[in-house]
Amino acid sequence: MPDFPLPPSSPDDVSYRLPLEPLIVPLKDLVVFPTMIVSVYVRNDDLINALDKAHKNEELIGLVAQKDPKKPVPPVDNLYDVGTSATILQVIKGTKAGDAMVVVEAVSRFRVEQYTQEKPYLVAKINPIGASPEDNITLQALAREVKEHMRMAGVQDGQLTPDVLAGLNSIQDVDQIADIACSFLKLNIQEKQDLLGMTDTEKRLQKILEHLNREIQLQKIKKKIHTDISQELNQSEKRYLLQKELERIKKELGEDEPSGVPGLEGMMDPEEMKDLEKRVKAAKMPKDIEKIAQKELDRLKKILPISPEYNVARTYIEWLCDMPWEKTCDAKVDVKKARKILDEDHYGLEKIKERILEFLAVCQLNDTCGATILCFVGPPGVGKTSLGQSIARALGRKFVHASLGGMRDEADIRGHRRTYVGALPGRIIQGLKRAGCKDPVFMLDEIDKIGKDFQGDPAAALLEVLDPEQNDEFTDHYLDVPFNLSKVFFIMTANVLDTIPPALLDRMEVIELPGYTEEEKLEIAKKYLLPRQLEQNGLKKKPFSMTDGAIYEIIRNYTYEAGLRELERKIGTICRKVA
């Protein structure tokens, strides 16, 4: 290809040549000025090979910014007319085929006359933009002003180090100073492209000065805002320290200590403080815990609302107020009603129901439901979770569910200490808050799938939770006060017993739920699964039914499970087809 001579503003390295029709690399959200070194990501096999060849032949390439980065290139009308020629410093091919990163150093500006090739990569006929005369006094004066404004803006913003400023002072070339200033400015793509395309150097330098002046003014305003905020904070801190000194003096004089900090009460919401005080009194906490809450509330009044500690203290007080310290579900055990509920919700399982009713009868006599921990063990889909829900209905208590599968951190049970950012109580305390009472039925699901690692053993933390001799003073790390769990009716579920730690298993009464027979599955499908699927799929009012033979066919040939989940899914599939 024919070559253009490089303009005088280009580097002295004449070994690189600028082809008459160089290949063009389109840029997204990037305008490159001469002297800049940038990395360009390329995703085009043909273009990567062409760049490799240009690198070996020491040819310059063209860099042109896209007008709209969301639109593809070609069409070439999505590219600006002015671009930058650049030397290829390195072509780094990615691990995936068709990916590469090209490191380039921009050399000079050019204007695209015409695109001579669009596929497989862009090639264009270009016209270099010439350099400015060096003996123009006006340009030299403007260039000096640009350097001075860059120094002022760079020092304020911290972008330009002393070494960079020293190097900038040594540059005398007007175009090079303009290009460096353009790359320094924080402008949008259109503004940068306008500066790149300006051929009148005097107007270009004046425009750069306008942008630099604006940048300096913005930095001054930003600095003033930061200074004002710092002064306000310092005044508040000074007022607080003086108030503490005044409190000490009044204490020595035997006068009453003032509450709060004068001058800061207006910064706090008095209604919010009154509301918190009312909530602390209405929460019916034990006396020692109420003292802790009141002490924390007094501390909150002295903390600036803009301080991070303010939100930490307020959230802690709200958690203490929201806990059901004395509130119960006000439920009464009725064994006959419980039998009816169990029969409504579950078919068969006579021995299991009998054992549950025995357990509820004992609860009815001496209110010791929390002393025994039940553990339902059986394959998936046999009704372990739904049995727990039925027990909650029979007892008239709230039902809380928490899955322990995959849990590896002890803090999931005991909570995080308040020193950690974003700390929260553990699953037990969170569940009790959701329930709103201190005696719900609390189901801990998949207890056989608890893990452990360097962050602690959740199973070990559960030992205290499930031990009737200890759980009346369970201490969550976040609340850091004891909470009585002795009234909570804990139910565990597991698929197997082998992976449950022996010490944990020893605290539970195991009730095994075997798989269902074909006859039991048939009855359950007719009484529970089919009506539920008819309702879910809008077929309740349509004349649709399934014969026993059809259900048997599904059970024998389309499901292979001890439980009922797949059977219900297959029935649901048929209902959707009918719908």
How far is CA 201 from each of CA 81, 102, 365, 564, rounded to the nearest angstrom?
Answer: 18, 30, 98, 81
Q: What's residue 266's pLDDT? A: 39
Pairing of strands 441-445, 474-475: unpaired
Cβ-in-10-Å burial (0-12, 13-18, 19+) of 158 comes to exposed
d(CA 132, CA 9): 8
Domains 3-128 and 132-258 share a fold: no
Q: Quick check: 396 and 437 in contact, CB under 8 A?
A: no
What CA–CA distance (Å, rounded) separates 282 from 9? Answer: 80
Helix (H, G, I), strand (E, B) or coil at 13: coil
Q: Residue 561: beta bridge partners?
A: none
Kindly report whether the peptide bond that precedes residue 514 is cis, defined as omega within 30 degrees of 0: no
Question: 378 in helix, strand or coil?
Answer: coil
Q: CA-to-CA distance for 461 and 485, rounded, in angstroms?
A: 14
Question: Is 3.40.50.300 the CATH number for 518-578?
Answer: no
User: How many Å is the Cα radius of gyration of the chain?
Assistant: 38
pLDDT value at 339 more than 70:
yes
Please give the Cα distance from 104 to 93 (Å, whole number): 14
Q: Which residues contact 248 (CB under 8 A, 6 or more apart)?
A: none
The whole-number pLDDT of residue 552 equals 83
Residue 344 contacts by C-beta under 8 Å, 6 or more apart in sequence? none
- Tell me the C-alpha distance between 177 and 147, whole Å: 7
| Cα 529 from Cα 506, distance rounded (Å) | 36
pLDDT digits (tens, 9 = 90+) for 182-230: 888 888 889 999 988 888 888 888 898 888 888 888 888 877 777 766 6
- The amino acid present at 170, given as its one-letter code, is S
- Structurally, at CATH architecture level, domain 3-128 sits in Roll (2.30)
Of 230 and 545, more confident = 545
Tell which CATH architecture fits domain 132-258. Answer: Up-down Bundle (1.20)
What does the pLDDT average to over 345-366?
Answer: 80
CATH number of 335-512: 3.40.50.300
Q: Is the pLDDT of residue 84 over 90?
A: yes
Q: Where are the domains of the chain?
A: 3-128, 132-258, 265-322, 335-512, 518-578
Q: pLDDT tens digit string along 8-51?
A: 444 444 345 677 889 999 998 899 999 889 999 888 888 888 99
Q: What is the pLDDT of residue 14?
A: 38
In the chain, the largest separation of any two C-alpha atoms, in whole Å, equals 108
